[in-house]
Amino acid sequence: MTESLKKDSAGDDSRCFDGAQCVALLGLGLMGSALTVPLSRARWQVRAWTRSNRPVEPQRGLVLLADAAEAVAQADFVVAMLADAAAVDDLLFKRGIAEHMRVGTLFIDMGTTGPTAAREHARLLAKRGIDYLDAPVSGGVRGAKAGNLTIFVGGDAAAYERALPLLTSVGRPRRLGALGAGQATKLVNQIIVAVNIAALAEALRLGERQGLTSTDVVEALQGGFADSTVLREHGPHMAQRNYEPGGPCRMHLKDLRLVQELLGGDFPLLAHTFRSLQGFEQLVASGYADADHSAYFELYAALASVPAEHP
């Protein structure tokens, strides 16, 4: 058995103890690492694997393992928080991690991988007697740490009921329908968020061009019809030019490309979304790939230096 990278704060080893709530967590990026906080608070025993060496804050019940196969071998639930569908496919089937899961294990994909991949991964896992839910999330790193994520779930109703104790540990789940429904709903979410981020960035740059302070504008708009989570979360980031990632630009671009794949290249009813996609492509190409998606503000940097025209 592969030696664990780190033992938890209580000194437990990498075994799942009889009667313990045990979950394997695959992926400890920004979101995966944040998930360990509410899982620990809910007293889950978490056997986590990551391909990177990103530092992870120690949590009670958290064991880091160098071998993904060892992480999943004894778990009743396996949660994937990976970058995209290709990463999930590679880990499960090309590296063969699925073969190390027990029959009856429930695999929950909490990343944004798209409805097509969700249905295919579910089909392949079902051949091994493994259940599947697609359960992508919204709420970012802050929501993950607080255990306050919005969770969009697709899959069998019985599997959903079985997963509820785990899902409610990290947020507010809702089953939207059959396999792929959670992923489809997440893409709906990402369209709305992208367009709102673009609108907020353009509006605040317009305000600055007119001599306004973005911090004042954001505060003034709260409570009116322009108020939103995007305004409250990303407005201050834009005003302060603080783009520490909660939702990296490269990830939002990936999600909008999934939308593009589903709808085709014409975007007959989604011109604003297509514009947002192009904006994120420009940001990623300009070195903002790992910056928070509030960095969309930087696309309008030239506007601030252009003198405003007054009647």
Q: Write out pLDDT tens, residues 129-152.
A: 999 999 999 999 999 999 999 999
- Examine the pLDDT at 303 and tell me if it is beyond 90: no
- Examine the pLDDT at 307 and tell me if it is beyond 90: no
Residue 281: CB atoms within 10 Å: 14
Domain 4-178 adopts which CATH fold?
Rossmann fold (3.40.50)
Output the pLDDT for position 11.
40
User: CA separation (Å) from 130 to 32, 76, 256?
Assistant: 22, 10, 30
Homologous superfamily assigned to 184-304: N-(1-d-carboxylethyl)-l-norvaline Dehydrogenase; domain 2 (1.10.1040.10)
- Examine the pLDDT at 172 and tell me if it is beyond 80: yes
Determine which one of 6, 7, 94, 186 is catalytic.
186
Task: Choose between 107 and 305: higher pLDDT.
Answer: 107
Dihedral of CA 54/57/62/63: which sign?
A: positive
Percent of the chain at pLDDT > 70 equals 88
Q: Choose among 62, 64, 5, 9: nearest CA to 39.
A: 62
Angle made by CA atoms 128, 131, 132, in degrees to the nearest 5: 120
Gap between the Cα atoms of 105 and 34, Å rounded: 23
Q: Domain limits of the chain?
A: 4-178, 184-304
Output the pLDDT for position 308.
44
Percent of the chain at pLDDT > 90 equals 69
> Is residue 186 annotated as part of the catalytic site, yes or no?
yes
